[in-house]
Structure 1
Amino acid sequence: MAVKRWGGGVYVALVVGGMLPPTIWAQESRQPVQRDANNAAEGQEEAHPLSAQEEHIHVTARRLDQARQALQPAIGATQTSFSRKAIEANPGGDNAALNSILLQAPGVTQDSYGQIHIRGDHNNVQFRLDGVALPEGVNVFGQALMTRFAHSMSLTTGVLPAEYGFRQAGVIDIQTKNGVSDEGGMLSGYGGVRDYVQPSLQYGGHWGQWDGFITADMIHDRVGIENTIPSYNAIHDLSRQHHILGHVRYTLRPETRFSFTAGISNAWYQLPNNPGQQHQFATPLFKADNALSMQANAPDSSHLDEHQQQITDFAILSWQEEHETVSAQTSAILRYSSMRYSPDWVGDLVYNGIAQQAARSVFSSGVQSDVTWRLNHAHTLRGGVQAYGERVVSKSNASVYPLAEDGSIIPQPMNVHDSSGKTGALYGAYIQDEWKITRKLTLNLGARFDGVEEYVHAHQFSPRISLVWTPWRGGRFHVGCARYLTPPPFETIGTTSLSRFANTSAAPAHYQNDRVKAERDNYYDIGFIQRLTPHWSIGVDAYWKDAKNLLDEGQFGAPVILTAYNYRRGHVRGVEFTTDYEAGPWSLYGNVALSRAMGKDINSAQWNFDEDDLQYMRHHWVHLDHDQRVTASAGAAYTAFRKTNHPLHLSGTMVYGSGLRQDKETATGDIPNGAHVPRYVTFNLALVQHICHVPALGGHNMQLRLDVINLFDKHYMLRDGSGIGVGAPQYGLRRSVMGGVSFSL
C-alpha cells in the first residue's frame, strides 16, 4: 500500500473541529504529527536483509496490521499521531507517562492526578489498544498503560465517525509493539531526583506462525501525586507501581490471525499532606479493647497518613480476517479495576469530621466487532457492534461524630457502614458509508444507536456526517456535524446513603440528590490544513458543542474518587492552530488552542455542593472547573551525527497554560469558578546518545539518556483548592533531572 508522506517531522497544530482528508497523512517524525487515518499505518523498513521466510512473515504481519487499522478510519476528524521516534524524543521517552506525551497534541489541557482534558471536556476519553476499546476503570491518577508498550499512538478528536461511541472528546488508540516489527530485547534503568527508580525490561520475537511481545517495569518515587504546596519535595508522597503488559499472536493463514493481549497494573500512593491546616472538630475519644478510654491529641496536618491503592487488570482476545473485499475483527474484552482508600483515622476525623475507609471496584466484560466491505471504488461500507456488561461495587466504613439535639459535637466517634452494588450494560451499533464522490471530494455518512441500562436508562439514534474537500495541491477542507450520547461513567456515580449520616458531623447541608443523567450533544467542526512548502505545513480547526445534561466530575471528600454530576445546559467552543517544519536534522512544531467551556444549573448529585453555589448556578452560566482559555505546546528536535553509528538526539518541549478555574471572591460572596489560577509555562529537555555495536557488550547497542523536566524550576499551580469539585491545592512538578541507560539483548 502506497503511503503519501506530508511534512516529515514535527507538526505544530492549532486545530478546530477535526479535519482528516481522504488520503493518509503519515510522518515518521520525532514529534506529534497530524494525519488522516483512512488507510493503514506506515510500513517498517528493515535494518538488515531478510530471508524469504522472514520476509513473508513481515509482509503478512504488516498487511494484517494495515487492514486492522483500516477498519476504523478517522475521515472528517482530526488525528494527531505519535510515531515511535516521536515517543522516544519526548523528554522521558518510554519512561514518561502517556499523559505527558499527549500534552503535546493540540487542545489537550493538563490537570492534577495525571488527568488530561481534551477540547473542554472532563475526561470523556476513550482508550483503545489496536483498535479495541477498553472499558472504563476507577483509577484516577497514575497510568495503567505503559508508554513503552506503544509502537505508535494517535489522538482523534472532532466529529468522530460512527464507529466511535460512548466517550467522544478524544480517542487515544495505541498501536502496540509486536514480535515482528519490534523484535529483540531491551534492558533499561532510569532514575533521578526524589528517589526515582524505574528498571524495565522488554522483549519481542517471532517463532514460525507465532509472535509475541512483553514488557514490565517497576517505579519507586516520591512524586506520585502533585504536591499540595510549592516546595521542592512534597510531604508524604511515596509511590510504588508495577506494570506488566504483553501479547501473543498466531497467524493461522495469511488471511486469519488470533491475538491475546493482557496487562496488570498495581499502584500504591501516599497522599501528600498540606501543613498548617486548622482542625475543625473536637479532639475525639477512642476506646481500646472496649474498656480503656484515652484522649488522642490532634495530629499536625503535616503528619497525616493517608494512602490509596489502585489495581487494573485487563485481557483482550481478538480474531481478525482480511480478504480481498471484506475485513473484520471481533474481540472479547475483560477488565477489572479497583481503588481502596485508607484514611488517617484520627487526623481525617479531626480535620474533616469524617474518617472514611472507601473501596470501589468495577468488573467489565464485553465484545466489539467491526466489519469493512469495499463495495466498489466509490463506496466502502463499515458496520459493527459494541456491548459491555458491568458490575460496580462500592463499600465504605466511616468514623464520624454524633450530634446532640442542639447541634453540638458529642466527642465519642461512631461507625457508619455503607455498601452498594449495581449491574448494568452499555450497547451500541453503527453503520456508515465512505463515499468518494469525486477524486477531490469524500463524504462520510453514518449513524449509531447507543443505549445504557445502569443507574441511568437512556438510548439515542445519532447521525454523523462529514465532508472532506481537496480543492488544490496541498490543501484540505473539512466540515462535519454529529449527535453524541455520553453515558455517565458507571464507576463515578455516587451511591452514598445520605440518611446514614443524618445527625452526624458528616451530614450534608441538604439532601437533594437527583440521579446523574446521560449527556446529549450536538457537535460541529470545521477546519483547513495547507502544506505551504515541502517542509512546512499549517492548520486551523474550530469546534462547537451544545450539550443537554453536560457531564462533569469532581472530588468531594478526602478519598481521591471522582463523582459525576450534570449541568442542565452546557456549551463548549474553541479553535486550534497548528504548524510544523522539518528539514534535514531539524524538526519543529507548535500548537495554540483557545477554548471556553461553560455550564448552567447543576441538576444531579446536588448534595455535594453549597446551597449558595447551587442558587447562583441556577441562574448564571459558570466556567467548568477544568476550563482553560489558552493552551499551547511546542517542541524542537535536532539530530547530530545522524549518518554515523552514534547519532545524538537533542529535543525540547514546552507547555503553556493560562490557568484552570478557581472561585472568585466578591463583596456579595464567591462566584463559583469565577477566576483562574496564574498562568504558567514550563520547558523540558532531552539528550539521547545512541552507541551501536559496543565491543564491550558483545556487539550489542547501548543508549544513554539525560532528561530535565521543568528546566527553569518554574513554581506553578494547577489547582488552589477552590472551585467546583476541587478537593485540594496541587502544584506542578519542580525541576527534575533524570538519567538512564538501556542495553539491547
Structure 2
Amino acid sequence: MKRHTLISRAAWLLFAQTVSLQALAAAPGAPLTGTVTDTQGHALENATVSLQDANGHTLAQTHTGHDGTFAVPGVQPGTYAVTVDAKGFGASTSIATVDTGAPPSLKVALEPGSTMDVNVQAQRLNTARNGLQPDIGASVYHFSQADIQNLPQGASTPVNQVLLQAPGVANDSYGQVHVRGDHADLQYRINGIVIPEPISGFGQSLDTRIIDQVNLITGALPAQYGYRTAGIVDITTKSGDTGNGGSIDVYGGSHQTLQTSADVYGSQGPLSYFFTGSLGVNNLGIEAPTSDPNPLHDHTRQGNAFGYVSYLINPLTRISVMAGTAANQFELPNTPGLQPQYTFNGQTSFNSANLNETQSELNNFAVLALQGTNGGALDYQVALFTRYTRTQFNPDEIGDLMFNGVASNDFRSNQAEGIQTDTTFRLNDAHTLRAGFMAQQEHAVFNDSVAVFPADANGNQTSDIPMTINDSGSKTGYLYSAYLQDEWKLTPKLTLNYGLRYDGMNEYVSASQLSPRVGLVYQPTNATTLHAGYARYFTPPDFQLVSAGTITRFNGTTNQSEVTADSPVQPERDHYFDIGITQRLTPSLTVGLDAYYKIASNLLDLGQFGTALIYTPFNYQYGHVYGVELTGNYKQGNVSAYLNFAFSRAQGKNVTSAQFNFDAAELAYISDNWVFLDHDQRVTMSMGGAYDFGQNTFTADAMVGSGLRSGFANTDKLPWYGQLNLAVIHHFNEPVIGKFDARVVLINAFNSVYELRDGSGIGVQAPQYGPQRAIYAGVTKLF
C-alpha cells in the first residue's frame, strides 16, 4: 500500500467518522438509510453497502441508487459495522449503534482508489485497547517516539535511561532504575499485555526501537494493575498500520562501540507487521569498578530482535502475534592490585587484572492476542503469553577461590506461561465497568556448582585443596488474580474510579489478598487537574530469584554463613496514598506536583550477596516510603524542555527472611533500628530539552542525584553526582540518497567522575562508577 494514499485516506475517514458518522438510532425493524458520495459530493450509484455484526457476519447487503441513497430494511437494535465499497474507490467502514430512537441519515464519502484501507479500523481497535487500561487517579508520564528521538542518543538510548527522564526515577548500576523508593518492582506491558520479568542481569531485555509510545504509570493504581506496582512501564509498539517503510542505523564511537540496527514495517490488506533487530559490541558493558575510564576485561556482545504481526479478521476484531528476544554476553571488569586472601594448591599470588569472570543472559517472550470491540459498549482483549529467561555466571575458578574463598558456577532459568483477559463495558454515560483476570505458571531451576576450601569454625582456611559442592533444585509456582472496577462520572468535572482486586500466589509460600482501590480526578477548569487515590497492594517476591538451596551444605567451608537462619520470603503488603495536581500555566508551560506515602508490611528488597549478579529477595518486617515530585514541561514552536525534581525517603526495620545473607552484627542492628534501603536516594533530578534550527536539532539531557546508600547497615551515603549529555542532529534530504539523519553525541560532557556504588552497604559487593566522557556518532537512513 502506498504511504501517501494510506495516510490521506485515513485522514479523510477519521474526519468523516468524527463529523458525519455519528451513532445511529433506529426503531426496531426500521430501515437504516444513508447517502454515498465521492469526496467532491457527487452521488455514487451502485455502491455496495454491507451490514456486519461484531463477529464479521454479513447480515444484510444493498446497493445505492442513482442519487447515491440506500436503505437497509428491518435493522434490529445493536451495534454494526457498515462497509461501503464502490468500483474505483477505496472501501469505508464505520460503526453504527442502533437503538429505539429516530435515525439520522448516514453519510459516507469515498476516497478514489482501489486498495482496502485498514488504517482507520486498526486505529479504532488501538483506541479500544487503550481504553482497557485507564489511569484514573494515578500519575502518568508520557514519552512519544518523537521525545525519544530528541534525546541525545535517540533510539540508541537504553530503555532504563529513557525512564530516567521521568520524575522519581533513581539511577543505579547494572542498568537498574528505582521508582519512588522501591527496588525495581516494575511491571512491563506491551500493547496492554503483561510481560513477565526476566532474571536480573546486566543487559536490557527490551530495545527502545520497538517503542511508539511509552507511559510510566505510578501512584495509587487502578484495580487492573497488580503484582509489580512501583511503576507500570506501558509500551505501545510501532506497527505497520500507518504505511510501509523502514530504517537502517549505525552507531558507534568510544570504548570500541559499534551497534547496527534495522527495522521494517508495513501493511497489505488486513495484515500489518513490524520487525526490528540490533547487534552491538563495546568495551564498557558493565560500570567500571575503578575511576579508570577504560576498565579492564569489560567487553560485551548484545543482540535484540522483536516482531509484531496483526491481522484484521473483520473491522471489529483482530488477532496479533508478537515475540522478542535479547541475548547478551558480558565480561566482568577487573580491579588491578588486589591481594589474594586464600592459598590455592600452594599458589599464593594471582594478578587480579587477569581474572576472567563472564556472564551470559537470555530472555525470550511471545504473545498471542485476540482483541475486539463492538464499536460501542464492549471492548475486550484475551492474550496467551510465554517467557523463558536464563542466566549463567562463569567464575574464574582459581582467581575467585584465591580472592573470595568461593568460586560458584551459577545457573538460573525460569519458564513462565499464562493467560490475561481485560474487558471494558460502557454501562451508560456515567458508568464504565472494567473486569479481567490473569493466571500464570512459572517453573524455576537453579543449578550451582560451588568450589570452596575447607575451613574451621572461625572461617579460617584449613586446606589449600578445594572441594566442590553441588547445590541444585527446581520449583513450580502459580500466580492468579481478578479485578472489577467502575469508572463513575459523578459530574462532568469529577470522576471516581473504584474497584476490588484479588491476588493469590502458591510458590515458596501460599498467600492471597483482597485489595480495594479508589481514585478521584477533579478538573475544575480545562487548565487544572487534581487527583487523589488509595490502593492496597500485594507484591510477591521474584519467584525466579528465590532458591531453595540448603545453607548447612557449606558448613565447615570458606562459604559458610555467619547466620544460618533462612526464613521463607513473604509477599509484601502495602497501604499506598497519592495526591497531586497538574496546572497548565500557559499554552506552552505545564507544571505538576505529586506526593505519596506507602506503609508496608514484609517490605521487599533485593540484594547482591554473591559474586554473580543474581539478586536475592528478602523482607523487612516494617517499611515506609514517602516523597514528593515536582515536574515542569515547556513546548513552544521549535523549543521543548522539561525539569523534574523528586524527594524520597525509603526505610525498613527488622529483616525477617533470607537472614543468612547478612552478618550477625548488621542483622542485630537492623532488628532494633530503622535503616535506609540501599537504593534510597534522597534527591533526584532530571532535565533536558531540544531546539530545532533549520535542518539541525540541538538536544541535551542531564541527571543529578544525592547518592545511594552505603556503609554498615546503609548508615552512610555516597556523594552528590551529576551528568550532562549533549548532541547535535542534522536532518538530510539529498538527491538519490533521500532522507537520513546524522548525530554526534557527547556523554558526560563535563567528565564528572562519580560512584553509583562503593562496594559497601547491604548486599552490594563491588564498586561501580558512572560513565566518563565519551563521544559517539550515528547515521540513520529512512526508507
Normalised by the size of structure 1, how large is the TM-score? Answer: 0.89
In the alignment, structure 1 residue 580 sits paired with structure 2 residue 618 = no
Q: What amino acid maps onto 2:371 in structure 1?
A: Q
User: Which among 427, 434, 451 is matched to residue 487 of structure 2?
Assistant: 434
User: Which among 66, 70, 75 is matched to residue 136 of structure 2?
Assistant: 75
Conserved? CA contact 1:108–1:118, under 8 Å: yes
User: Which among 722, 735, 741 is matched to residue 773 of structure 2?
Assistant: 735
The aligned residue for residue 125 of structure 2 is 64
Q: 1:517-596 alignment to 2 at 5 Å?
A: 517-596=570-649
In the alignment, structure 1 residue 398 sits paired with structure 2 residue 453 = no
% identity of equivalent residues: 43
Q: Report the Cα distance in structure 2 between the residues aligned to 1:207 and 1:581, rounded to whole angstroms.
A: 39
User: Which among 276, 284, 287 is matched to residue 344 of structure 2?
Assistant: 284
In the alignment, structure 1 residue 389 sits paired with structure 2 residue 430 = no
The aligned residue for residue 217 of structure 2 is 156
User: Which among 253, 257, 261 is matched to residue 192 of structure 1?
Assistant: 253
What whole-Å deviation, never above 9, does each CA across 1:242-262 have from its counterpart, x for those lacking one? 111111110011101000000
The aligned residue for residue 690 of structure 1 is 731
Q: Report the Cα distance in structure 1 between the residues aligned to 2:780 and 2:412, rounded to whole angstroms.
A: 38
Conserved? CA contact 1:194–1:221, under 8 Å: yes
Conserved? CA contact 2:340–2:348, under 8 Å: no
Displacement of 1:97 in angstroms is: 0.5
Q: What amino acid maps onto 1:649 in structure 2?
A: T
Displacement of 1:225 in angstroms is: 0.6
Tell me the secondary structure at the aligned position of residue 290 of structure 2: coil
Conserved? CA contact 2:329–2:360, under 8 Å: yes
In the alignment, structure 1 residue 320 sits paired with structure 2 residue 371 = yes
Larger Cα-atom Rg: 2
Q: 1:249 to 1:408 in 2, by over 3 A?
A: closer
Conserved? CA contact 2:366–2:386, under 8 Å: yes
Conserved? CA contact 2:454–2:463, under 8 Å: yes
Q: 1:260-299 alignment to 2 at 5 Å?
A: 260-281=321-342, 283-285=343-345, 295-296=346-347, 298-299=349-350
What whole-Å deviation, never above 9, does each CA across 1:650-669 have from its counterpart, x for those lacking one? 11011000000011xxxxxx
Tell me the secondary structure at the aligned position of residue 491 of structure 1: helix
The aligned residue for residue 211 of structure 1 is 272
Q: Report the Cα distance in structure 1 between the residues aligned to 2:125 and 2:696, rounded to whole angstroms.
A: 34
Moved more, 449-458 or 398-407: 398-407
The aligned residue for residue 354 of structure 2 is 303
Conserved? CA contact 1:227–1:234, under 8 Å: yes
Conserved? CA contact 1:519–1:548, under 8 Å: yes
The aligned residue for residue 39 of structure 2 is none
Q: What amino acid maps onto 2:597 in structure 1?
A: W
Q: What amino acid maps onto 1:676 in structure 2?
A: K
Moved more, 182-191 or 263-272: 182-191
In the alignment, structure 1 residue 705 sits paired with structure 2 residue 770 = no
The aligned residue for residue 183 of structure 2 is 122
Q: 1:655-666 alignment to 2 at 5 Å?
A: 655-663=703-711
Q: What amino acid maps onto 1:299 in structure 2?
A: F
Tell me the secondary structure at the aligned position of residue 654 of structure 1: strand
Q: What amino acid maps onto 1:344 in structure 2?
A: D
Q: 1:347-426 alignment to 2 at 5 Å?
A: 347-403=399-455, 408-426=461-479
Displacement of 1:538 in angstroms is: 1.1
Tell me the secondary structure at the aligned position of residue 548 of structure 2: coil
Tell me the secondary structure at the aligned position of residue 56 of structure 1: coil
Q: 1:542 to 1:512 in 2, by over 3 A?
A: same
The aligned residue for residue 244 of structure 2 is 183
Q: Report the Cα distance in structure 1 between the residues aligned to 2:731 and 2:672, rounded to whole angstroms.
A: 61
Q: Report the Cα distance in structure 2 between the residues aligned to 1:415 and 1:80, rounded to whole angstroms.
A: 50
Q: What amino acid maps onto 2:698 in structure 1?
A: L
Q: Report the Cα distance in structure 2 between the residues aligned to 1:99 and 1:53, rounded to whole angstroms.
A: 45
Moved more, 472-481 or 511-520: 472-481
Conserved? CA contact 1:409–1:505, under 8 Å: no
Conserved? CA contact 1:567–1:600, under 8 Å: yes
Q: Report the Cα distance in structure 1 between the residues aligned to 2:462 and 2:251, rounded to whole angstroms.
A: 52
Tell me the secondary structure at the aligned position of residue 311 of structure 1: strand
Q: Report the Cα distance in structure 1 between the residues aligned to 2:131 and 2:678, rounded to whole angstroms.
A: 37
Displacement of 1:55 in angstroms is: 7.9
Q: Report the Cα distance in structure 2 between the residues aligned to 1:659 and 1:636, rounded to whole angstroms.
A: 24
Tell me the secondary structure at the aligned position of residue 564 of structure 1: strand
Conserved? CA contact 1:58–1:180, under 8 Å: yes
User: Which among 697, 715, 722 is matched to residue 649 of structure 1?
Assistant: 697
Q: Report the Cα distance in structure 2 between the residues aligned to 1:408 and 1:489, rounded to whole angstroms.
A: 35
Displacement of 1:580 in angstroms is: 1.4
Q: 1:374 to 1:405 in 2, by over 3 A?
A: closer
Conserved? CA contact 2:461–2:558, under 8 Å: no
Q: Report the Cα distance in structure 1 between the residues aligned to 2:452 and 2:567, rounded to whole angstroms.
A: 25
Conserved? CA contact 1:307–1:343, under 8 Å: yes
Q: Report the Cα distance in structure 2 between the residues aligned to 1:689 and 1:496, rounded to whole angstroms.
A: 56
Q: Any stretches of 5+ residues in structure 1 without a counterpart?
A: 3-48, 286-294, 642-646, 664-669
Q: What amino acid maps onto 1:655 in structure 2?
A: M
Q: 1:51 to 1:593 in 2, by over 3 A?
A: farther
Q: 1:175 to 1:435 in 2, by over 3 A?
A: same
Q: Report the Cα distance in structure 2 between the residues aligned to 1:326 and 1:224, rounded to whole angstroms.
A: 48
Q: Report the Cα distance in structure 2 between the residues aligned to 1:227 and 1:696, rounded to whole angstroms.
A: 44
Q: Any stretches of 5+ residues in structure 2 without a counterpart?
A: 1-13, 16-109
What whole-Å deviation, never above 9, does each CA across 1:215-248 have from its counterpart, x for those lacking one? 0110100111110001111111000011111111
Displacement of 1:54 in angstroms is: 6.0
Q: Report the Cα distance in structure 2 between the residues aligned to 1:468 and 1:174, rounded to whole angstroms.
A: 24
The aligned residue for residue 224 of structure 1 is 285
Q: Report the Cα distance in structure 2 between the residues aligned to 1:409 and 1:176, rounded to whole angstroms.
A: 58
Displacement of 1:499 in angstroms is: 1.6
What whole-Å deviation, never above 9, does each CA across 1:100-123 have from its counterpart, x for those lacking one? 111000000000000000000001
Displacement of 1:718 in angstroms is: 0.2
The aligned residue for residue 27 of structure 1 is none
Displacement of 1:405 in angstroms is: 7.5
Q: Report the Cα distance in structure 2 between the residues aligned to 1:558 and 1:155, rounded to whole angstroms.
A: 32
User: Which among 471, 490, 510 is matched to residue 563 of structure 2?
Assistant: 510
Moved more, 309-318 or 132-141: 132-141
User: Which among 687, 693, 698 is matched to residue 640 of structure 1?
Assistant: 693
Q: Report the Cα distance in structure 1 between the residues aligned to 2:347 and 2:681, rounded to whole angstroms.
A: 44
Displacement of 1:571 in angstroms is: 0.1
Aligned CA RMSD, in angstroms, stands at 1.6
Q: 1:25-174 alignment to 2 at 5 Å?
A: 56-174=117-235
Tell me the secondary structure at the aligned position of residue 202 of structure 2: coil
Tell me the secondary structure at the aligned position of residue 614 of structure 1: helix
Displacement of 1:52 in angstroms is: 5.0
Higher relative contact order (CA 8 A, sep 6+): 1
Displacement of 1:743 in angstroms is: 1.4
The aligned residue for residue 36 of structure 1 is none
Displacement of 1:435 in angstroms is: 0.1
Q: 1:460 to 1:52 in 2, by over 3 A?
A: farther
Conserved? CA contact 2:243–2:267, under 8 Å: no
Conserved? CA contact 2:151–2:699, under 8 Å: yes
Tell me the secondary structure at the aligned position of residue 585 of structure 2: strand
Tell me the secondary structure at the aligned position of residue 607 of structure 1: helix
Q: What amino acid maps onto 1:709 in structure 2?
A: I
Conserved? CA contact 1:298–1:347, under 8 Å: no
Tell me the secondary structure at the aligned position of residue 64 of structure 1: helix
Q: Report the Cα distance in structure 2 between the residues aligned to 1:196 and 1:129, rounded to whole angstroms.
A: 29
Displacement of 1:496 in angstroms is: 2.3
Q: Report the Cα distance in structure 2 between the residues aligned to 1:135 and 1:443, rounded to whole angstroms.
A: 30
Q: Report the Cα distance in structure 1 between the residues aligned to 2:674 and 2:181, rounded to whole angstroms.
A: 15
Q: What amino acid maps onto 1:399 in structure 2?
A: A
User: Which among 218, 242, 246 is matched to residue 303 of structure 2?
Assistant: 242
Displacement of 1:66 in angstroms is: 1.1
Q: Report the Cα distance in structure 2 between the residues aligned to 1:463 and 1:575, rounded to whole angstroms.
A: 24
